[in-house]
Amino acid sequence: MTYQDKIQKAKAKLMLEHPYFGTIASSLQIQKSDDVESFVSDGKILQYNDEYFDSVAVNDVEFALANGAMHSLLKHEKRLGSRYDWLWQLATDYTINSMLVKNGLTLPEKANFQDRFDGMYAEEVYEVLRSEIKNQEWSEDEGTAEEDQDAKDNSDNETKEQQRTEVGEGHPIDDADRESNNQDNISQEESENLEQEFLEQVFKKMNRQGTLPKDLKYLVPEYFSHTIDWREQLYRYIASHAKSSFSFVPPNMKYLYRGIYLPSLSSDLLRVVVAIDTSGSVDETLLGTFLAEVQSITEQYPNYEIDIITADSQIQSHEVFLPGETLNYEVQGRGGTDFRPVFEYIDKYVDYPTLLLYFTDGFGTFPESEPNYDILWVMAEEIEVPFGEVVLMDI
């Protein structure tokens, strides 16, 4: 099988087994080059060595096409910024290849891949690689590589500015040249806009179908800025506050039979205050969602101590729940909304609070001063809050 046959078969295989990768790869520019050892993509063109493609299996060609497609999606050059091109290229490759492996593609021998970069953004990988290089002893050539690039960038900018000045002052452009240049710029801009529109349409379609690849958010986080499930955000935030500690509830069973009462290690102890807005502006559907989510939190963390406070314009109830206890509490209120009583109540009656989850519609009177513990407002509409973070519920 020739390398041309392998490319066609790899494209068909991608479309069948990984439609997202295959759809983007179908519009990818590919170019044969003797200057590369295997394959490389700069986000615009995938260059490959025909002898390499001849020597490897179709799975390796499939991986190369998917890699090139993802570099196109990541917008390699536009996200380069002031970073060093060669290191940014390497960082994006690590991120892309990690994502491709996660989705079941076979990793070629010469591909850049390290397990430690799993689940990391390209920007994070870049900073790790950059710090590691800085901690190593540079050779004389390596040590001046970054300075040379900065100098080259400055030189290129000066040259462009000089050309613009010369053209503007000493070499006026006639109308025909100006029209031609404008048409070229418009064509390039239109082409880029069409490409971006195509990528976004593919994303939206497959997002609706639930067929997006795993970990795609690490390549194009901007596509997910309004699509991340609110529960995922909520539980990530909660998880950051769960910690291992010692507690006498329950005691250490190993020595209890001897009458020695010692604390046991409480792994992933979740200690959190939950406030539930029971005002009249919170309808039954929203209130039901609040209550169901509190129940779900206790199911996610078998070791917890949760203070549950219900309130409208005043405190209606306060109960403390430990593992194994049924979450039975009365929902009272249905009056106006005032958030201040909850914060005042916590200051008086809750020892050492670290996190408050406030389930509310967001319409109420906020305290004037920020408390010394973390606040996460969980609400259905985007309401400006004076402090804390917000998770928007999608219901």
Instruction: Tell whether 222 and 248 lie within a shared domain.
Output: no
What was the pLDDT predicted at 207? 66
Please report the DSSP string for 108-133 in residue order: PTTS---GGGTT--HHHHHHHHHHHH
Confidence of residue 170 (pLDDT cuts 50, 70, 90): very low
Q: Is 246 exposed, middle or buried (0-12, 13-18, 19+ CB in 10 A)?
A: exposed
Q: Answer yes or no: do 237 and 216 share one domain.
A: no
Residue of 78 and 266 predicted with greater confidence = 78
Same domain, 238 and 382: yes
Q: Check residue 142 and give its pLDDT.
A: 43
**Residue 225 banded pLDDT, cuts 50, 70, 90:** low
Using the predicted structure, report yes or no on whether residue 167 has a pLDDT greater than 60. no
Residues 209 and 308 in one domain: no
Integer Cα distance of 300 and 56 in angstroms: 46
- Asked if residue 227 has pLDDT above 50, the reply is no
Residue at 153 is within a domain: no
Q: Is residue 214 part of a domain?
A: yes
Nearest to 351 by CA among 388, 305, 295: 305
Q: Do 308 and 326 fall within a single domain?
A: yes
Would the pLDDT of 265 be above 60? no
Query: Residue 395's closest CA among 384, 385, 381, 383?
Result: 381
State whether residue 73 is helix, strand or coil.
helix
Which CATH number do you get for residue 298?
A: 3.40.50
Residues 6+ apart with CB under 8 A from 345: 309, 311, 315, 318
Average pLDDT, integer, range 269-282: 89
- What is the full DSSP assignment across 269-287? EEEEEEEEE-STTS-HHHH
How far, rounded to the nearest angstrom, does the alpha carbon of residue 17 sit from its chain's CA centroid? 25
Q: pLDDT: is 265 or 321 the higher one?
A: 321
Q: 211 and 238: one domain? A: no
Q: Within a domain: residue 160?
A: no
Q: Are 385 and 356 in contact (CB under 8 A)?
A: no
Distances (CA, A) of 247 to 34, 257, 266, 304, 367: 66, 18, 6, 11, 33
Helix extents (H) in 50-144: 50-55, 58-74, 85-102, 122-135, 140-143
Same domain, 184 and 72: yes
361 token code pair:
């519609």
pLDDT digits (tens, 9 = 90+) for 176-200: 444 444 545 546 666 666 677 777 7
Q: Report yes or no on 236 lying in a domain.
A: yes
Residues 6, 22, single domain; the answer is yes
Out of 212, 227, 242, a domain closes at: 227
Convert the pLDDT of each residue in 74-94 to its tens digit: 876 677 888 888 899 899 999
pLDDT single digits (tens) 293-324: 888 888 777 778 899 999 999 999 999 998 88
**Residue 1 in tokens:** 């099988």
Is 334 domain-assigned? yes
> Do 65 and 81 fall into the same domain?
yes
Backbone angles phi, psi at 268, to 5 degrees: 55, 45
Confidence of residue 244 (pLDDT cuts 50, 70, 90): very low
**Number of separate domains in the chain:** 2
Give the helix ranges, DSSP H, for the chain. Answer: 3-17, 19-25, 50-55, 58-74, 85-102, 122-135, 140-143, 145-169, 175-209, 230-239, 253-256, 284-300, 340-349
Residues 223 and 245 grouped into a single domain: no
Residue 233 and residue 340: Cα distance in Å, rounded? 25
pLDDT at 96 over 90: yes
pTM, whole model, 2 decimals? 0.49
User: What value does the mean pLDDT take over residues 8-35?
Assistant: 90
Largest pairwise CA distance in the chain = 99
Please tell me the predicted confidence (pLDDT) of residue 103. 93
In a domain, 164, yes or no: no
Write out pLDDT tens, residues 39-68.
988 777 899 999 999 999 999 999 999 999
Whether 216 and 234 map to the same domain: the answer is no
Please provide the average confidence, as pLDDT, over all residues in the chain.
78
Q: What was the pLDDT predicted at 209? A: 62
Domain membership of residue 261 (yes or no) is yes
User: Do residues 359 and 378 make contact, with C-beta atoms less than 8 angstroms apart?
Assistant: yes
Task: Please give the average per-residue pLDDT across 365-376, as a whole number.
Answer: 94
Domain coverage including residue 249: 230-392
240 and 101 in a common domain = no
pLDDT for the residue numbered 220: 78
**Position 166 in a domain:** no
Residue type at 340 in one-letter notation = R
